[in-house]
Structure 1
Amino acid sequence: MLRRGCLFVVALLAAAFLALGWFAWSWWGASDVEQDTSFTVPSGASLTAIAAKLEEERLIPSAEGFLLRAKLLASDDPVRAGEFLLPAGASPAQILDTFQHGDVIRRFVTIPEGLPSVMVRDRLMAEPLLTGEVAVPAEGSVLPESYAFERGEARSAVLARMQAAMKRTLAELWAKRSPGIAVSTPEEALVLASIVEKETGVARERRMVAGLYSNRLKQGIMLQADPTIIYPITKGRPLGRRIRQSEIQAVNGYNTYTMVGLPEGPITNPGRDSIAAVLNPAKTKALYMVADGTGGHAFAETLAEHNANVAKWFALRRARGEM
């Protein structure tokens, strides 16, 4: 009888041990999920809702079991909203720990320097992981940069960050401006910076180009910047052909071949360096520039010197078979 009682106790303990082992293994043991999987924790979601979503997506076998084990075996640290990468075979314990302490997947949308606002909208609308509609933002209101976003985030929220970044940057650089510059307001600086941005893709030239246009503004000379002819035609998209004579002569709020001073607004979204160049331009007497065949420009102080540079450029183009 005593022996039978001992065997019963041993069997009971063994069963309890096996049950405890199964309970623990179901929490810390690897899952059957065979590949890395992204999972989004919605903002404000409760652990109960998250568990139900995990079960629905077949990442855990039971939401109730997950919640029970989480209550008894896991940290009570809060979970964070966002998109997380769950590795293949992740245990329920690893999944919860990822939501509590892991890194949210960071995705990026990049706005290159000089991208006009119509194409900023195109880029935002083409990102399939963003949601909602956005209108074309005001030209010059977006700071070219790479911006992190989360899956399912509203396009309007990302655009708002881009525009807030431009406001901060413009205010910061305006406070550091050199004395005696050609522009009198941050808005004018943005307009001139947009022209500098479109006129040169060579970083080392930005301050020189800004100095040249500053000289023209101060002396009341037309800026004669080709991109200002194109902007009212395409709103910043590529023209795809040569500028026509009628377009050079067109009178509007942007064409600096038929007006003195700055256009009525920016012609693109200038980068930080172009804004900084306008607010701290090179000290130069240059009034003219023409392409030099290397991607940069030849600068001149006099019309005679400029005409000689133009002749060299035309000769180079003829040698290349471009004329």
Structure 2
Amino acid sequence: MRFLKTLFVWMLMLAFLAAAGAGAGWVWYNNELTAPGPLTEETVIEVAPGESLASVAARLEADGVIKDARLMRLKSRIDGTELDIKTGEYIIDKGASVNQVLSILIEGRSLLHKITLPEGRTTAQLLRIIEKDKLLEGDMPEVLPEEGTLLPDTYMFHRGMTRIQLIEKMEKAQADLLAELWPTRQEGLPIETPYEAVILASVVEKETGRADERPEIAALFTTRLKRGMRLQSDPTIIYGISKGEPLYNKAGQRRTLYRSEIDRHTEWNTYQVDGLPKTPICNPGADAIRAVLDPPETEYVFFVADGKGGHLFAKTNAEHERNVAAYRAYERQEIARERAN
């Protein structure tokens, strides 16, 4: 009987020690998971498509991001998150713990890059920007988007996005914007389809780089169309000649239009054709599209550059001729000032 009592006491002591050891091990485990990591400064890591957590953990240990890859693997096994890490590029803060690093990889809080695709560029020009971006992946599409079907903007993207995916994103953004704005357009506009709205917006976009002038120029062109007047927009002539690429003289300098080019008939030259040009002449931004779908009222039907980045507007031809004379006088002054310097 005494033997059995002694055995029972020893069993209780062993159970107690095992429980104490397990408790201590659990405390150690949690402390290690939340302890500051070895990183001495913020860094960027990348998880490649198809890369396993074991592979990522080993690389993070080798690179000094975490102290022990085995701890990260154990944590993911216990939580059942081994297969939940996401492809991407991630910023890891200085001293990030194993818990924090694993949470970033699982939640997919990856680093975003941006690409700016300016308003008023032709599709060919926008595609050149996309093709040159070194962070985008993949080839360009075999079938190129049509003029005016891409919405210019600054787009955010994760590493791994392909060029085709970005182009599709721009096309969808354009389609979504038109679907939103077209039903709420102003009544009585001289345009009948969303496509015609894009055509007119593209002309507005090419005529001014100033946001505050877009509504005024949209209104002016709307008034001209309603009165049966030709748009007479210089950028439409250029598009008919070079598809929107700058014009140069023989010396390689940017030049203005020749009289023969103004008189040349193309399907885009709005000095020679009534109404809108055949297609958009660039990819207009959202503000230009909004301007042509809800232009302010105006009696202006003429405008000319003021030489300072804006335009002078006129209601009559006589007033317009005075503005043209003022612009030419300004040009002569600027040329004289340049020569004097």
TM-score tier by shorter-chain length is: 0.7 to 0.9
Is 1:134–2:140 an aligned residue pair? yes
- Give 1:201's match in structure 2, choosing from 183, 200, 209: 209
Is 1:297–2:311 an aligned residue pair? yes
Residue 195 of structure 1 and its aligned partner are, at CA, apart by: 0.3
Residue 242 of structure 1 and its aligned partner are, at CA, apart by: 1.7
Look up the equivalent residue of 2:203 and give its one-letter code. Answer: I
| TM-score when normalising by structure 1 | 0.84
SS of the aligned residue for 1:321 comes to: helix
Can you give the 5+ residue segments of structure 1 that lack an aligned partner in the other structure? 1-8
The aligned counterpart of 2:321 is 307
The aligned counterpart of 1:182 is 190
Deviations 1:134-166 (A, max 9, x none): 245321111122211001211111111111111
56-65 or 82-91, which moves further after superposition?
A: 56-65
- Give 2:93's match in structure 1, choosing from 54, 77, 87: 87
The aligned counterpart of 1:143 is 151
148-157 or 112-121, which moves further after superposition?
A: 112-121
Distance 1:123 1:322 in 2: 38
172-181 or 197-206, which moves further after superposition?
A: 197-206
Can you give the 5+ residue segments of structure 2 that lack an aligned partner in the other structure? 1-13, 248-253
Deviations 1:3-22 (A, max 9, x none): xxxxxx9xx99999998787
Deviations 1:24-51 (A, max 9, x none): 6654444444443222334665534543
Distance 1:110 1:322, change over 3 A: farther
Residue 269 of structure 1 and its aligned partner are, at CA, apart by: 1.0
Is 1:237–2:245 an aligned residue pair? yes
Identity of aligned residues (%): 40
| TM-score when normalising by structure 2 | 0.80
SS of the aligned residue for 2:184 comes to: coil
User: In 2, are the aligned partners of 1:70 and 1:93 still within 8 Å (CA)?
Assistant: no
Distance 2:29 2:212 in 1: 66
The aligned counterpart of 1:251 is 265
The aligned counterpart of 1:39 is 45
Deviations 1:233-276 (A, max 9, x none): 33333332222222222222211122112111111111111111
Look up the equivalent residue of 1:212 and give its one-letter code. Answer: L
The aligned counterpart of 1:4 is none
245-254 or 76-85, which moves further after superposition?
A: 76-85
Distance 1:308 1:124 in 2: 44
Distance 1:25 1:119 in 2: 55
Distance 1:302 1:322 in 2: 31
Deviations 1:260-299 (A, max 9, x none): 1211111111111111111122222322111234422222
The aligned counterpart of 1:5 is none
Distance 1:195 1:82, change over 3 A: same
Distance 1:82 1:241 in 2: 46
Distance 1:109 1:169 in 2: 20
Distance 2:267 2:313 in 1: 27
Distance 1:272 1:311 in 2: 34
Could you say what the CA RMSD is over the residues aligned between the two structures, in angstroms?
3.2
Q: Kindly tell me the number of residue pairs found equivalent between the two proteins.
A: 314
Matches within 5 A, 1:108-187: 108-135=114-141, 136-187=144-195
Distance 1:253 1:132 in 2: 35
SS of the aligned residue for 2:45 comes to: strand
The aligned counterpart of 2:110 is 104
Residue 96 of structure 1 and its aligned partner are, at CA, apart by: 0.5
Distance 1:322 1:176, change over 3 A: farther
Residue 92 of structure 1 and its aligned partner are, at CA, apart by: 2.5
Distance 2:312 2:140 in 1: 41
User: In 2, are the aligned partners of 1:121 and 1:137 still within 8 Å (CA)?
Assistant: no
User: In 1, are the aligned partners of 2:200 and 2:280 still within 8 Å (CA)?
Assistant: yes
